[in-house]
């Protein structure tokens, strides 16, 4: 090798070191941040959630914060003493039972949250979510006054084509509940038909048009679909993913952020015979751990 070639190699090596050293220094300085970012990137496929960007005071740098959440989400239907001729007696929770549960929540320091806060629970320590399906007028008459009395939040799932119909919520009642700040109004489709029994077109219409109706009529953001009768399949989840951030199932117990995905969020059936002991045993599973 001639001296000329050796010098050229030396020169190239020096240039390479000069070029790479800022990247090396950046890596050393930010290795924790890079590690967390990479970690989160690989986790995305597995439906991990709760990764928040929290700006530090200078507004420049960001810390990546991950939450490990256990959230009991209770599912209610009718809040009514009298179940009439109805055979689904368990769907009819007494208003006094709901009041006992709300009182327990308040007295024991639990905090009601909306379902669509599920990825942002860092400000809570003992969250619980209350959800009401179908939402006939009995919700407005019997549950809403209790939510106001105890100042607690609930998410409700509206059958859009029923609004202003017999025994159903009126649009004025829906507006009043939205304005209270205690009720998050979300969709339970247009007609409550079983989505798995519909054609692709009809199913899409149920998901897309009900969202459009609620958003345009009430000027709200609708990001959660509650599948009627808890029935869904791969196609339905695909359409849900294109239109919503969250999908609610009807069973499955407590929601765990490291286990469940956001389009099959499990719930606990709060039925007529649920005792306060059973109710509180689910509440005790509520947890928010911050993992840095
Ligand atoms: Zn329903």
pLDDT of residue 117: 96
How much distance in Å is there from the Cα of 155 to the middle of ligand 1? 13
How much distance in Å is there from the Cα of 88 to the middle of ligand 1? 12
Q: Where are the domains of the chain?
A: 67-291
pLDDT of residue 201: 97
pLDDT of residue 50: 46
Question: CB within 5 A of ion ligand 1: which residues?
Answer: 133-134
pLDDT of residue 44: 39
67-291 is a CATH 3.30.70.2750 domain: no
How much distance in Å is there from the Cα of 149 to the middle of ligand 1? 26
Global pTM value: 0.79
Q: Among 49-53, 143-147, 275-279, name the one with the lowest average pLDDT.
A: 49-53
pLDDT of residue 43: 39
Q: Which residue has the higher pLDDT, 41 or 241?
A: 241
Q: Among 36-45, 85-94, 222-231, 243-252, name the one with the lowest average pLDDT.
A: 36-45
Strands 51-55 and 62-71, sheet pairing: antiparallel
Taking residues 176-195, report their average pLDDT.
Answer: 98
pLDDT of residue 63: 47
Name, in order, each residue with C-beta under 8 angstroms of 270's C-beta and a sequence gap of 6 or more: 74, 75, 76, 93, 101, 279
pLDDT of residue 1: 59
pLDDT of residue 9: 75
Taking residues 159-170, report their average pLDDT.
Answer: 98
């Amino acid at each position: 090798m001639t001296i000329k070639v050796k010098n050229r190699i030396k020169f190239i090596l020096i240039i390479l070191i000069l070029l790479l050293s800022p990247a090396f220094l950046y890596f050393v300085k930010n290795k924790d941040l890079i590690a967390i970012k990479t970690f989160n990137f690989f986790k995305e496929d597995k439906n991990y959630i709760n990764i928040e960007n929290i700006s530090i005071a200078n507004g420049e740098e960001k810390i990546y914060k991950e939450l490990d959440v256990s959230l009991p989400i209770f599912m209610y239907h009718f809040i009514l003493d009298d179940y009439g001729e109805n055979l689904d007696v368990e769907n009819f929770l007494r208003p006094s039972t709901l009041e006992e549960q709300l009182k327990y929540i308040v007295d024991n320091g639990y905090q009601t949250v909306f379902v669509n806060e599920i990825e942002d629970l860092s400000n809570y320590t003992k969250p619980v979510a209350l959800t009401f399906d179908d939402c006939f007028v009995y919700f407005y008459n019997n549950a809403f006054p209790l939510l106001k009395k105890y100042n607690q939040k609930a998410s409700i799932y509206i059958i859009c084509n029923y609004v202003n119909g017999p025994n159903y919520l009126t649009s004025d009642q829906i507006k009043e509940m939205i304005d209270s700040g205690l009720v998050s109004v979300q969709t339970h489709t247009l007609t409550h038909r079983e989505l798995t029994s519909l054609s692709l077109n009809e199913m899409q219409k149920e998901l897309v048009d009900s969202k459009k109706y609620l958003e345009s009529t009430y000027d709200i953001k609708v990001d959660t679909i509650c599948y009627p009768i808890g029935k869904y399949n791969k196609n339905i989840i695909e359409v849900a993913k294109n239109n919503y951030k969250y999908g609610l199932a009807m069973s499955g117990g407590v929601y765990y952020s490291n286990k469940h995905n956001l389009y099959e969020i499990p719930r606990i059936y709060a039925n007529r015979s649920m005792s306060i002991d059973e109710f509180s045993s689910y509440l005790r599973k509520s947890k928010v751990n911050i993992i840095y």
